[in-house]
Structure 1
């Protein structure tokens, strides 16, 4: 086991005119001064661990000023101030105000928070300050100030890094594409705080369909406790279709897709047409699209008008679809499909499940986001309308590669980004897998002793294994492989209220015994 002695962090005591909770010393609440001009200090609290005391000598004593700080309930995700080093010269050719010098520890999961302030009706702007209060402000980044690249580069050498993407699914895709560019190894796992409108990826990973003012402290606990899972990501390679008839140049028409990779879905036909109409109308009149209700009403109106005009009814006549060498074109034409969706995750269109429930798959495998396969689903106008009430599309194929040929310009969308693509040959293939944090249904970590009503056990029996830092960095996302690579050292027995330092001393003695050829000897404390 890799043992690590951290650099001591001191409390950062600040005066408070208002303070919630109770004094750590006397247990009494803090008297709040409601007069606007009152300058009386009612409390002294640490901005790291959040301990608070009354501003009087019976509660807060001078010796506490120099005490070391535990960093509080979220110590595992906080970047300690001792890691942040200010610099007075340009770094690597450009100015950086500070550099990060991490001290690796398997006990820590340092967190980078990226917030898109424009997502979800500007919810993002409101929560930046909350994250800065709970964490080190140097680990919270506003994506409107240059994107995620600088923050990721700054922390690229930090061991066991996790990322929290606060925004819509597009924000998550932006961060994943930047991680591709930087080629971080191992790649940090990404959690999601959903601030957008669709949030299908967030729903898939159990983060929900939208942020509902859940306490930031609880969100940090969920990120720390979440399981790491893999997410397939798919390449989209576009070439012009030289065999297609040269139609008149459409002003809306483009020769390339808005994105060359997708994490959620890629679709063409009716749904993409409605999304494109919405996107163009919002670009022309942004003031008319300032609420979720108005946006949904526009979608409904556009969908109805398209239904009446039937602008997508001939889709099947102008495409060719080949999945893993199987030509599905005649099936698409026989079913008169007006929309095709290539789906990577179970959720689509703000939470619907177009592949259907797991028990309804019949000849197909259950859908997964980590199996290297993509689901191909077709819709008529009618089946697309029933999605919101539990319906599903026509299951066509599960495959690893797709070749899609179009013979006229057709509306398409990539993870919600629409366009009207000129006649093209589009190839879909697996790009890579990203590490994501999946929210567990409930917290599994032991509660803080102050919050727990359970009695402290008299003794703790702890099994100890040893693993190299190289193996840990390579396998920390897979607990089973981590167990296989570790070397059992033995068992320690310590009092139930032991702190980490006590456990460390027993582990060190266990190592001496183990490497002195006395294997699996039980060490009891006095």
Structure 2
């Protein structure tokens, strides 16, 4: 009887793909006799797709223990290091040569479809668990509630857990926790079951076989006649068919990822979606676009779409939905991976993906509100009144797009975008990061500003809005750029129409009201956009007729071209259905006893450095220990993070006392952001544009954590007292004291030596004792010059905070400022500190080089682009000051 139970248990394990858990079990399954297959990193949609095929990506995961076990591991036999690969869908890791050995232990990936043949008619339509053994597992056992033992060595061969790669349930790998009924029970598909497309919905069809040629011809002719009357989804055979089982609780999701968006960020995030979802609902847009997938899933009820990319990716998907005429059209959510992401900001999805867990993103898509978005038609035709002499070489008579969702513009901004587009087409390898893209934009804008290529724009256009001619008003304004805006955001998050409440002469701006906002910009108002300014509000209208008398750069949702003299008509096309990220409805109280949120909260604020965050954000406890107390705030219990931000920034302005920040604490950086410490297994950043969507009680339990990118890490930070404790006297935070009457202040040479040795504590002590921070050595080098030469960020920050402003532009014998020196050495962070402190970027050394040119000579193109960008803003600010005078 005991033997019979053991055989039954082994059969069940074999059926679930876990027979490799026990050493004798691989012998029970015969090796697969299939021919050698290619290693795939994408889902196979052809008729030759393999059931349960893994999706492999290269990995550098630590450890040398392969999932196939020592008995079949090729690397173990060769006794040498070989590359490893990880399956994105079930997260097993094997050596690349061992992939074929998975057939010998008969372990397949979680099945993403089912066969439609006669043998599968009697198969149950529910989804089975896909059990995988794990040597490392987070969380707790679903049966006993105890945590999993974490081995300190990555070389451990002991299996600690068994988990399902569908629902993510995990059990201890012992019979008392993981029993036979767990193997056989149906899988719930986990917490995201509402958005997961079950593999039982996706059937592989068999190609019809016809034996008689005459019959083939007759059917082919009949097929052609019928297909001419069918919709775009019919009329041809596909290897896979979607047969959904509708449910009012389900919101099945299709994920489209543009792997090239945001400096190739999409290529990394696609692996996370393959893990949480059915791999056959995740699509790489570089493999053929969205049309085939949308046609295949067009009959799925309550379908939603997640577009992972920039605003151009979203526009591509919306245009494809227009072509297919799906009824009703599925709503589209956005995961912003692009550079500008203005539509994503408008719909509360933020200005760019940082590190929010994909699990949270899926929850937001499921819970988001369905809203409408106006889409506008563009029709361009040559201007019959323009002569041939007005035509320029390289100009086109066709717009890049015939519809826009965000904006249509002409003039300065379109010229800059066109330069960027042409440069990227010529050298795509130079535009592989979001930072580099933005810096190129800034440099091109600066060059175009100097050339003044758009200063005569008003002389060559005529604008009629809803029958009213705005040309006289435009000629008086003399704009260098005109924008026809559909959404509130423009140019990476700015609000060119102004903030709500600032435009009393017009209706509030909406993305679903059927109106466009027409805005004019001078160079001054364009520069002011980045600091909260806005353009000249011209009108709100439903229809525009724009006539140009010469070739002018234009752009449609970021797609630029130089358009020949034309007549352009803009009118409402339709409305797209979108998903807007909603404010969280269920707040997790700060206190673990689940008490109602009080009227007021008194909560500790602690900040984390970027260095510590990068190293420890997967370990909550260590990151909490590395944080630095900032102070205490008192806020209403239902406060969102926008309101909480104002209270935290006020800590630096309050006098010393209850809740105030210690004077020895480093000031908050303008770029600080909130960290969510409760709703995921790790800390993650909250985008500034999404702070109004999150309550304080949702992201914190006992205290609020914020990330300050300019805070020193724990390894480099001097010991600072907490705001609630008395200030101790230590070498790194000395108590200010007065010098005795006959005591001389420290010599300048001592200060120089401290700066050269990167001795922050000694320099601070000498300054507190009366040392002169403006001391110069024999070569006229300041202490800041010496700190830059040694690369001491801590000393540089101290000097910038405490020395007079004159130290920034002080020059040594060869005419170099400290910024020249930092640029030549490629010290990006120090350059940022010095520029933000107010150093001039126009000063030249004895060779006539500016700091930007020194960075170029050092072949640091990204630093040079940053310095050129800041130089441009300094020039614009100087021009504004001179104009005001």
- Tell me the TM-score normalized by structure 2: 0.49
How is 1:451-462 mapped onto 2 (pairs within 5 angstroms)? Answer: 454=594
Following TM superposition, by how much is the alpha carbon of 1:34 offset from its aligned partner in structure 2, in angstroms?
5.7
Shifted more, 49-58 versus 85-94: the winner is 85-94
Partner residue of 2:437? 295
Q: CA deviation at 1:7?
A: 5.1
1:124-183 Cα offsets, whole Å, 9 max, x none, are: 111111111111111111111100011111110000000000000000000000000000
Within a 5 Å distance, the mapping from 1:469-484 to structure 2 comes to none
2:308 is the counterpart of 1:166: yes
> Match of 2:201?
83
User: 1:8/1:293 Cα in 2 relative to 1: closer, same or farther (>3 Å)?
Assistant: closer
Higher relative contact order at CA 8 Å, sep ≥6: structure 1 or structure 2?
1
Deviation at 1:68, TM superposition (A): 2.0
Select 1:205's aligned residue among 347, 352, 360: 347
Q: Is this contact kept in 2: 1:340–1:378, CA < 8 A?
A: yes
Q: SS of 2:286's equivalent?
A: coil
| Contact kept? 1:117, 1:143, Cα under 8 Å | yes
Distance between the aligned counterparts of 1:97 and 1:54, measured in 2?
A: 40
Between 1:271-280 and 1:171-180, the stretch displaced more is 271-280
Kept in 1, the 8 Å contact 2:375–2:575? The answer is yes
Task: Provide closer, same or farther for how the CA distance between residues 309 and 192 of structure 1 changes in structure 2, counting only shifts above 3 A.
Answer: same
Name the residue aligned to 1:417. 559
How far does residue 12 in structure 1 lie from its aligned partner after superposition?
2.3
Larger CA deviation: 59-68 vs 289-298: 289-298
Equivalent in 181, 184, 189 of residue 66 of structure 1: 184
2:492 maps to 350
The residue that corresponds to 1:54 in the other structure is: 172
Residue 49 of structure 2: aligned partner: none
Name the residue aligned to 1:29: 147
1:275 correspondence with 2:393? no
1:428-485 CA-to-partner distances (Å, cap 9, x unmatched) read 000100110000122x3699xxxx9659xxxxxxxxxxxxxxxxxxxxxxxxxxxxxx
Equivalent in the alignment of 2:576: 434
Which range is displaced more, 133-142 or 16-25?
16-25
Larger-gyration structure (1/2) = 2
Secondary structure of 2:479's partner?
coil
Q: Distance in 1 between matches of 2:552 and 2:587?
A: 54
How far did residue 304 of structure 1 move? 2.3
**Secondary structure of 1:352's match?**
coil
Using the TM superposition, give the Cα deviation of residue 122 of structure 1 relative to its aligned residue in structure 2, in angstroms. 1.2
- In the alignment, structure 1 residue 360 sits paired with structure 2 residue 502: yes
- Flag structure 2 segments of 5+ consecutive residues without an equivalent: 1-123, 209-232, 596-885
The answer as to whether partners of 1:247 and 1:408 remain within 8 angstroms in 2 is no
Inter-CA distance 49–291: structure 2 relative to 1 (3 Å threshold): closer
Comparing 11-20 and 46-55, the one that deviates more: 11-20
Give CA-to-partner distance per residue, 1:183-230, whole Å, 9 cap, x none: 000000000000001000000000000001100100000000000000
Counting only pairs closer than 5 Å after superposition, residues 69-468 of structure 1 correspond to structure 2 as 69-89=187-207, 96-247=238-389, 249-442=391-584, 444=585, 454=594
Q: Aligned with 1:281: secondary structure?
A: helix
Higher strand share: 1
Cα deviation code 1:277-307 (max 9, x no counterpart): 1111222233333333333333223222222
Cα RMSD (Å) = 2.0
**CA shift digits 1:463-520 (9 cap, x unpaired):** xxxxxxxxxxxxxxxxxxxxxxxxxxxxxxxxxxxxxxxxxxxxxxxxxxxxxxxxxx
Partner SS for 1:267: strand
Is the CA contact (8 Å cut-off) linking 2:486 and 2:517 kept in structure 1?
Answer: yes
In structure 1, what is the Cα distance between the partners aligned to 2:285 and 2:433? 22
Q: Is the 2:390–2:549 Cα contact (8 Å) retained in structure 1? A: no
Displacement of 1:19 after TM fit?
Answer: 1.8
Query: Partners in 2 of 1:127 and 1:292 — Cα distance?
Result: 16
Q: How big is the shift at 1:385?
A: 1.1
Structure 2 counterpart SS, 1:295: helix
Task: Give 1:466's aligned residue.
Answer: none
The whole-number CA distance in structure 2 between the counterparts of 1:34 and 1:418 is: 55
Structure 1 unaligned residues grouped into runs of 5+: 1-5, 456-526
Query: Structure 1 residue 17 and structure 2 residue 135: aligned?
Result: yes
Using the TM superposition, give the Cα deviation of residue 92 of structure 1 relative to its aligned residue in structure 2, in angstroms.
5.3
116-125 vs 283-292, which deviates more?
A: 283-292
Q: Is the contact between residue 390 and residue 551 of structure 2 (CA under 8 Å) also seen in structure 1?
A: no
C-alpha offsets along residues 311-341 of structure 1, whole Å, 9 cap, x if unaligned?
A: 1111111111000000001110011111110
Any idea what SS the aligned residue of 1:128 has? helix
8 Å Cα contact 1:383/1:391 also seen in 2: yes
Q: Aligned partners of 2:137 and 2:393: how far apart in 1?
A: 60
Q: CA 1:220/1:411 → structure 2, altered by over 3 Å: closer, same or farther?
A: same
Aligned pair in 2 of structure 1 residues 30, 48: CA closer, same or farther (>3 Å)? same
Equivalent residues of 2:262, 2:433 under 8 A apart: no
Contact 2:391 2:550 in 1 (8 A): no
Partner of 2:737: none
